A and B are shown apart, each in its own frame.
Chain A
Amino acid sequence: MTLLRCLPYVRKQMTRHRVRSLLTIAGVAIAMFLFTSVQAMNRGVAQATRTTAEDTTLVVYRADRFCPATSELPQDYLRRIEQVDGVAAAIPMMVVVTNCRTSLDVVTFRGVPKDGFISARLSEIEVVAGSTEDWQRRTDAALVGETLAERRGLRPGMTFDAAGITAYVAGVFRSDDPQDQNVAYTALPFVQMAGRDRLGIVTQFNVKVTDPAMLDPVANRIDELFVHASEPTATFSEKAFIGRLADDIIELVGFARWLGLGCLVAVLALVANSIVLGVQSRVVEHAVLQTLGYSGWLVAALIVVEGTLLALVGGVVGAGVALAVAHFGSFALSVEGTTIPIAADAKLLATGLLICGAIGVVAGLVPALQASRRQIAACFRSA
């Protein structure tokens, strides 16, 4: 209770030492912006590649090929794949990307059979603008993922050019699957015919199995089926497939974790430095407080609270800006037509603030204990 009554004193110390507080908060905010951004990428990688017990999707790709531009499979593999035990549905897909390199702004077209797609995927996506009727009616129509639509400013009725394809936006959809959010679904023949005639050729098959436990057996059966064909296949679970294609990104993001840790160390150093300097310049002031009857513990608590508040304010600003940038920028890391989302949400903000709070406490602890243990009379003598 006494500490609560003294909180205005802490607030005044922060607001009336404005330059020191602002510099500390700015430093913490920058470090937390970087930390939150790195964590958002880490979470995106985890979301995109971590296998769960509910995964039922396989991707059938051309063996020994590593990008959509070179993976070519005959579309008539579909009939044989659908006959494999454990296969619930299969969608042939032609993937065209604006570039195969790692980028924050890749447009990925996925050509799919319209009827098959609607029946297989409509329950998993929510059309938030436009309509599927319009998409089915027009040959050049695209259903655009919400992230891609926000990033490119696409709305139903507009046309857009990317990767040599001019498509009409029939609708914008929302999906929990990060691989959907950043793509434009169009009619398979439309994509096959765009640029050059590749009718009958697809990039991959997306296969749904009847039971998650069937993923590996079905993958093996499909690959055995085409092992002696002129175009052999390599079949993976969707998460493993993404992990394989986005290997470079994952490695980079893994390395970026160290950058995130470095940011936390920077926050600790900044807050600790600010608190130490503040405590050193207020030796007499703390001695006065103790002379007035403040216990050493109360003085220590006031110092720790000040450090924690500085860290928290900086954390709110830094993590908040990171979240806003991720949200309004609608960024996603793309490579070879796969998407690694930048997964920034309120949970990440809460985690960042929790870490900031803990760092604030740790940073203030040592100077606070030193201040609380000083001999009061000695502080006045040395002033």
Chain B
Amino acid sequence: MAMIECRELTREYHKADQVIRPLDGLNLDVPRGDFLALMGPSGSGKTTLLNLIAGIDSPTRGSLTVEGSDLAQMSRNGLAAWRSTHVGYVFQLYNLVPVLTAYENVELPMLLQKISRRQRHERVSLALERAGIADRADHYPRQLSGGQEQRVAIARAIVTDPPILVADEPTGDLDKASAHTAMTLLQQLNQDLGKTIIMVTHDPQTTEYAKHTLHLDKGQLVEAGVEREEVPA
């Protein structure tokens, strides 16, 4: 059984008299432990699909089941609770809270967990170490490079140990070296920790780190993806 199942998934927006349909009856299965890259032109529905899988948007029609839970049927509060334990989101522009240090940013999702301060500290420290940014724990986002910020964002996404990571153009704002570091990190999380990763990207080079690549256009899958046995180191 697939970890993520999309059936006739449709998302519509209303803008004045127009109906915009970034996703139009999409069917997709994502198995557990997959590293899926989504490509396609602007407006093809990649980010919309990502947002739906992350539970921060709701489908207009169709069903979206993640680990047996139908996200379309969940309440706003129910979805918030689900997100806190099931999904980590990595943004293109990192979206760190500027007034908080790297440590405090990573700690944010942990404040929702009913665990002791010591346990929280251990989990945050572990996430920072795993992301290779522990030495910048006391730095504010403005004191970090883009690559370092993205590693803090990845640490924040994995600190609650969610089974799913979604990444919206995670290298879109990074130079080549930083992009490689960030992608290698995501790849390790997929291979070593078994995280299921769904990533939107415009960069064909980035897709080489993924196990599969799917192309979307006008809200639908246009071709079967490329499956890789070997991924670049």
Contact = CB atoms under 8 A, between A and B. Distances in A.
Interface of A: 1-2, 5-6, 9, 12-13, 16-17, 284-285, 287-297, 375-377, 380
A215 to B, nearest CB: 64
A295 B109 contact: no
A285 B77 CA distance: 18
A175 B84 CA distance: 63
Contacts of B84: 292-294
B74 interface: no
B2 interface: no
Given A295-B77, A295-B80, A2 B111 contact: yes
Contacts of A294: 80, 84, 112
A12 B51 contact: no
A308 B16 CA distance: 39
Contact of B100 (A1, A9, A295): A9
A6 B109 CA distance: 10
Contacts of B85: 293
A376 B56 contact: yes
A296 B77 contact: yes
B60 interface: no
A297 B80 CA distance: 10
A287 B97 CA distance: 11
Contacts of B109: 292-293
A292 B77 contact: no
Contacts of B112: 2, 5, 292-294
A292 B114 contact: no
Nearest to B96: A288
A12 B100 contact: yes
Contacts of A291: 54, 56, 83, 89
Interface in B141-183: 156, 160
B108 A9 contact: yes
B104 interface: yes
5 contacts: A5-B111, A289-B108, A290-B56, A293-B109, A294-B84
Contacts of A284: 95
B34 interface: no
Nearest to A383: B93
Given A12-B104, A288-B97, A377-B51, A295 B56 contact: no
Contacts of B1: none
Given A297-B77, A376-B56, A376-B57, A292 B83 contact: yes
Interface in B83-104: 83-85, 89, 91, 95, 97, 99-100, 104
B193 interface: no
B139 interface: no
A12 B100 CA distance: 7
Contacts of B114: 1
A293 B83 contact: yes
A134 to B, nearest CB: 64
A377 B79 CA distance: 13
Contacts of B54: 291
Contacts of A6: 111
Contacts of B222: none
Contacts of B95: 284-285, 288
